[in-house]
Structure 1
């Protein structure tokens, strides 16, 4: 897949200068659109579900969570524990996009403080490590919503670097001591069938990874 960087993006590749509002479409990473090491997920086979990670070197698909999107009752998170090593790469494929259309792509995870992390990217095996950074590409949304005092807190929009982003559906952005965070993965073109794969793994030598889903916005008028 062809990946292109546009120099007119500012704030670490987030938005163009004239942009004042944009909508991000959230796509939940679930058992129907996510592969584990290139294979379909199989409970108690190549993943554990609904159990949390237990050092068995398998991804856990926790669908009994009270903080996952798209809503706490319908969502799930992919969890890799701090004692799990060498986990296979996850591939979540976004479908139904404009064939060959240009998109900015995001991944979403959960953190408590600054120690929970993930690796993510648009090319298999070439992932960026996100833990409280890199600056301009990592945003804890629970700290950015207008009112994060309810517990849990749900938001329909967030403002980053003066740009208001609305979500296609409200997202839970904080719960207890946890915050949802957004990672900016960059720009890429959908393939001829309107698909974009996103690649996820744990952070090398990091703490736990709680991966929730991905998102996109179409770039329609590059200058």
Structure 2
């Protein structure tokens, strides 16, 4: 007897790099001092800070009064044109506190918002704690779970590459954006925005994106779907 199932690959993490794969929403370059700066405290800019994957994270509102940073676009390249992929955005949060971010497959604002510490009545959706996903627990926002060696690197098959998910008192969180189709150049664009004009308790720490081939039915699933469709056709003919 055929059994239903889905076949899905592991996620490939892509670190966001300023003026590498990450630009303004229209694809133009980020200008140092205008759109971003090193350190914290800028006005209407992103902050280029030294922690998380790749040794840098793109942040906003690390201090209160940093204003509204421009919408970013991170491009995933080297994909198969016309192929469907599940795509993700990765933020970081402070243990026991709330950080927020906006992300979408469209540059239209305001984008959907997400937070690391969800609460009833919030207009933002919850992010998912990565440390629990890679350890097989799908619970939302449970707090940090250390790896066996304390390194914070997860290599258990959730990612195809090594990804830092914990560092000091900070943890990585995932937002699932659903399915996107690679364009004719093999690219998928993901957009990121901050929570504008907010205080430091609602800061945004953006690290990168991820992708995996969209799940496709295994042969048993395809057979069952085909039989169901044939049965529906026969019933309609009666």
TM-score range for the pair, normalised by the shorter chain length:
0.7 to 0.9
Greater per-residue strand proportion: 1
3-state SS of paired residue (2:162)? strand
Counterpart for residue 174 of structure 2: 182
3-state SS of paired residue (1:22)? coil
**Residues 104, 188 of structure 1: 8 Å contact kept:** yes
| C-alpha distance in 1 between matches for 2:58 and 2:12 | 19
**Which residue of the other structure, out of 18, 23, 47, is the alignment partner of 1:35?**
23
**Residues 61, 78 of structure 1: 8 Å contact kept:** yes
**Residues 25, 72 of structure 2: 8 Å contact kept:** yes
3-state SS of paired residue (2:165)? strand
**Residues 14, 210 of structure 2: 8 Å contact kept:** yes
Counterpart for residue 46 of structure 1: 35
Aligned residues: 190
| TM superposition outliers: structure 1 runs of 4+ over 4 Å | 149-152
3-state SS of paired residue (1:48)? strand
3-state SS of paired residue (2:160)? strand
Please tell me whether residue 153 in structure 1 is matched to residue 145 in structure 2: no
Greater per-residue helix proportion: 2
Deviation at 1:139, TM superposition (A): 1.2
Larger mean Cα displacement after TM superposition, 207-216 or 77-86: 77-86
| C-alpha distance in 2 between matches for 1:151 and 1:145 | 14
Q: Which runs of 5+ in 2 are unaligned?
A: 119-123, 136-144, 223-238
| C-alpha distance in 1 between matches for 2:152 and 2:174 | 16
**Which residue of the other structure, out of 108, 112, 115, is the alignment partner of 1:125?**
108
Deviation at 1:166, TM superposition (A): 2.0
What TM-score do you get using the length of structure 2 for normalisation? 0.71
| C-alpha distance in 1 between matches for 2:178 and 2:215 | 15
Say what the alpha-carbon RMSD is for the aligned residues.
Answer: 2.4
Counterpart for residue 56 of structure 1: 43
Please tell me whether residue 77 in structure 1 is matched to residue 69 in structure 2: no
3-state SS of paired residue (2:104)? strand
Please tell me whether residue 219 in structure 1 is matched to residue 214 in structure 2: yes
**Residues 154, 170 of structure 1: 8 Å contact kept:** yes
Deviation at 1:186, TM superposition (A): 1.0
Deviation at 1:151, TM superposition (A): 4.5
